[in-house]
């Protein structure tokens, strides 16, 4: 009986101490702001979390999403080395608004480096169009107003894939996407080719 009583006292004390510890780490104030860790609410935000980042893992697999705030600039990472801004519920891609975009292009990370050639011939096979997306978000379109007739300008992935398959990827849902950034060096090569031809004609 004495042993059982001692056990109950020990367990009760342990739970009490654990409760105090949790209370110190997880708080919810009168303004409905939640804090986790040794921190205080920040501004009007509903949650403030102290730590070096967050890691989300999908149960039963290796899929994950990672937010790392400890480096000089916050880093986002995911499985397959890709982060897709896509609404699974609505089946729509999201727009991204940023000030600058920098593409990783360090020479030390590359191999089989070869100069581009004959880009003009390939580019001349591509067709360009103006269009609107069928699933355009009308609310977003009214909020972020585009000028003119609000058309999009670009190419059709299925057509580009026939000429430059390296520029097109197909996602797990079968949707095709174009890497327009990789067209820039090809356009530069085409301009250089035309400039050389013009210079040759002028020299005659």
Is 143 a member of any domain?
Answer: yes
Which residues have C-beta within 8 Å of that of residue 90, sequence separation ≥ 6?
135
- Identify whether residues 32 and 64 lie together within a single domain: no
68 in Cβ contact with 74 (< 8 Å):
yes
Instruction: Name the H helices within 106-182.
Output: 119-123, 138-143, 157-163
Q: What's the pLDDT score for residue 192?
A: 97
Nearest to 186 by CA among 134, 100, 124: 124
The total of structural domains in the chain comes to: 3
Q: What's the pLDDT score for residue 20?
A: 47
- Identify whether residues 24 and 71 lie together within a single domain: no
- Identify whether residues 64 and 126 lie together within a single domain: no
Is 34 a member of any domain?
Answer: yes
- Identify whether residues 60 and 34 lie together within a single domain: no
Q: In whole angstroms, give the CA distance from residue 67 to residue 54.
A: 5
pLDDT by 10s per residue, the chain, length 204 = 555 555 565 555 554 544 545 555 888 899 999 898 889 999 999 999 998 999 999 998 899 999 999 999 999 999 999 999 999 998 899 999 999 999 999 999 999 999 999 999 999 999 999 999 887 777 777 788 888 888 899 999 999 999 999 999 999 999 999 999 999 999 999 999 999 999 999 998
Is 101 a member of any domain?
Answer: no
- Identify whether residues 127 and 171 lie together within a single domain: yes
Nearest to 52 by CA among 69, 35, 74, 77: 69
119 in Cβ contact with 193 (< 8 Å):
yes
**Residue with tokens 């820039």, as numbered in its chain:** 184
- Identify whether residues 73 and 120 lie together within a single domain: no
SS3 204: coil
Is 96 a member of any domain?
Answer: no
Is 62 a member of any domain?
Answer: yes
Is 185 a member of any domain?
Answer: yes
- Identify whether residues 139 and 158 lie together within a single domain: yes
Note down the domain range covering 64.
Answer: 51-83
């Amino acid at each position: 009986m004495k042993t059982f009583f001692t056990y109950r006292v020990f367990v009760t004390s342990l739970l009490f101490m654990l409760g105090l510890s949790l209370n110190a780490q997880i708080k919810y104030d009168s303004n409905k702001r939640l804090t986790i860790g040794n921190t205080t609410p920040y501004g009007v935000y509903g949650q403030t979390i102290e730590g070096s980042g967050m890691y989300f893992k999908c149960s039963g697999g290796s899929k994950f999403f990672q937010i790392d705030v400890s480096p000089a600039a916050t880093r986002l990472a995911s499985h397959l080395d890709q982060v897709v801004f896509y609404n699974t519920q609505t089946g729509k891609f999201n727009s991204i608004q940023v000030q600058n975009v920098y593409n990783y292009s360090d020479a030390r990370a590359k191999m089989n480096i070869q100069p581009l050639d004959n880009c003009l011939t390939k580019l001349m096979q591509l067709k360009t169009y103006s269009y609107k997306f069928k699933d355009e978000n009308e609310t977003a379109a009214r909020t972020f107003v585009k000028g003119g007739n609000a058309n999009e300008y670009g190419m059709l992935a299925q057509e580009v894939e026939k000429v430059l398959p390296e520029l097109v990827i197909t996602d797990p849902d079968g949707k095709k996407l174009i890497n327009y950034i990789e067209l820039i060096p090809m356009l530069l090569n085409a301009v250089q080719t035309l400039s050389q031809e013009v210079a040759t004609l002028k020299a005659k």
